[in-house]
Amino acid sequence: MLCFTLGELANWCRAELVNANAEARVEGVSTDTRSMRPGCVFFALRGERHDGHDFVPEALGRGAVAAVVRKDWLLKNPGVPALAVGDTLEALGDAAAGYRRLFAGAVVCITGSSGKTTTKEMTELALSSLGPVAKSEANYNNEIGVPLSIFKIGGEHKAAVLELAMRGRGQIRYLARIARPNVGVIVSIGDAHLGLLGSRRAIAEAKAELLEELPESGTAVLPRDSEWYPLLTQRCACRWLSFGFHPEADVRVVGYSASEGGSRFSIRFEGDEAGVELAAPGEHLAVDAAAAVAAAVALGVPLSAAASALSGFRPPDMRGVRLAANGFTVINDAYNANPDSVAAALKSLACYSGRKVALLGDMLELGDASAELHRKVGALAAELGIDLLVTVGSLGAEIGRGALDAGMPSEAVLQFATPLDAAEALRELLRPGDVVLVKASRGARLEQAVEVLVSGSFAEANRN
């Protein structure tokens, strides 16, 4: 990581440094004593189940040089080497903002209703010709994860790619002010979090907070195919590049073709064209690739270098990963879901030649429109010719209802209460060559079904 001292950290956090040496070098920051290294500073965050202040003695025992704690806690625990603050979570954000100012490289921030993580992974690849690129790991995309990701940026890195999640108005703005991006990417505007914000327009406005925090010298990367593209451009005080299939997109996808083995297309920018090959089908992946390339060319990466690097893309865990299982294929896309991402996944499933099976569950946080949006997903499954639709949960049942209303045969629609019930039934129904898409919101826990389907017990069940 970049070098700084306890004194500098205290200044960033507006903290009172107590019982500690201001000149001591900080080797890292941590919120988890299980993974921290000696020389780190421990931030005692209060969560729903645990209070980090309870772990301060353990952190110091593991070699922490100090702990960031609440002032009232320190009064009851004198003698602890500490940075005393009013709010430790706020202090973590302030500290990350201070650390970010030490980094001279470019920062790309990515948000969107769906496709954020995929685009983040692709953008890291597209920027790779610059040198080492830091990125958010796993789901480190909120008010804790973004600061921790920033602290992972080191002197060896030439750029950083950060994913920003949104749970309500103001959150993207808060995270962007910490990250201070040079490039801001909005991948998509969809129905995710509709229940929290009430309308797609409100969602678009919340995502646009990223654009409003870009410097005049920065670049916004915007989805040209979105109905909210005009609104997004109005929020830009800097230059922007658009991306997508739209004929007027600055970074345009052309010549798209797909099979179960993957997809091929070209990306066109300023009269030049470069081919891209991905190991998975899906027009949504081509759009994500165009967004990544747009971010890269905005930072001076040649189009050919950015596009060719995408051949190394592999989906992150539980986000479209293909698993071979006893003669059939499971597409594990169970990490999360909203109507737009499920529609994209179903269209990708339709590219496969085997019998197409969709195991779908509840999509959460959709508000009053939830039942209708679930039924629309079911209707799309029927329209695409999905051979077998298996649903889980009460909202999943609405998916099945929509499929039946759209003409899917009743014998092709099965409904179950739990992921394990659905998986046990599928073990008896699946045969070699089948392709099974598994997708739902995280709360549906459909990864439980994936574990059953890919386990060796399926082979035993098939033989009996």
Contact 434, 349 (CB under 8 A): no
Confidence of residue 458 (pLDDT cuts 50, 70, 90): very low
Q: What pLDDT is stored for residue 463 in this prediction?
A: 33
CA dihedral 337, 343, 344, 349 (to 10 degrees): 100
| 159-163 and 133-135 strand pairing | parallel
Return the closest-CA partner of residue 242 out of 257, 234, 252.
Answer: 252
Q: What is the CA radius of gyration of the chain?
A: 24
List the alpha helices (DSSP H) in 137-238. 145-150, 171-179, 194-197, 200-207, 209-212, 229-234
- What is the set of domains in the chain, with CATH numbers? 6-91 (3.40.1390.10), 103-312 (3.40.1190.10), 321-463 (3.90.190.20)
Secondary structure letter of residue 236 according to DSSP: -
Least confident window among 316-320, 396-400, 403-407:
316-320
Contact 273, 266 (CB under 8 A): yes
For residues 116 and 70, what is the distance between their CA atoms, to the nearest angstrom?
A: 34
Q: What pLDDT is stored for residue 456 in this prediction?
A: 54
For residues 162 and 179, what is the distance between their CA atoms, to the nearest angstrom?
A: 8
Q: What pLDDT is stored for residue 210 in this prediction?
A: 99
Confidence of residue 139 (pLDDT cuts 50, 70, 90): confident
pLDDT(63) > 50: yes
Secondary structure letter of residue 22 according to DSSP: T
Confidence of residue 254 (pLDDT cuts 50, 70, 90): very high
List the alpha helices (DSSP H) in 192-264. 194-197, 200-207, 209-212, 229-234
Write the pLDDT tens digit of every residue in 213-252.
999 999 999 999 999 999 999 999 999 999 999 999 999 9
Contact 298, 221 (CB under 8 A): yes
Contact 173, 212 (CB under 8 A): yes
For residues 135 and 32, what is the distance between their CA atoms, to the nearest angstrom?
A: 20
| 251-259 and 239-244 strand pairing | parallel
Contact 209, 179 (CB under 8 A): no
Least confident window among 127-136, 354-363, 407-416, 453-462:
453-462
Write the pLDDT tens digit of every residue in 420-454.
999 999 999 999 999 999 999 999 999 999 999 99
pLDDT(457) > 60: no
For the record, the structure tokens of 415 come out as: 């409904």
- The whole-model pTM stands at 0.94
| More confident site: 463 or 47 | 47
For the record, the structure tokens of 123 come out as: 């953008």
For the record, the structure tokens of 337 come out as: 């879901």
Write the pLDDT tens digit of every residue in 300-348.
999 999 999 999 999 999 999 999 988 999 999 999 999 999 999 999 9
Write the pLDDT tens digit of every residue in 347-378.
999 999 999 999 999 999 999 999 999 999 99
pLDDT(461) > 60: no
Mean pLDDT, residues 180-184 taken together: 99
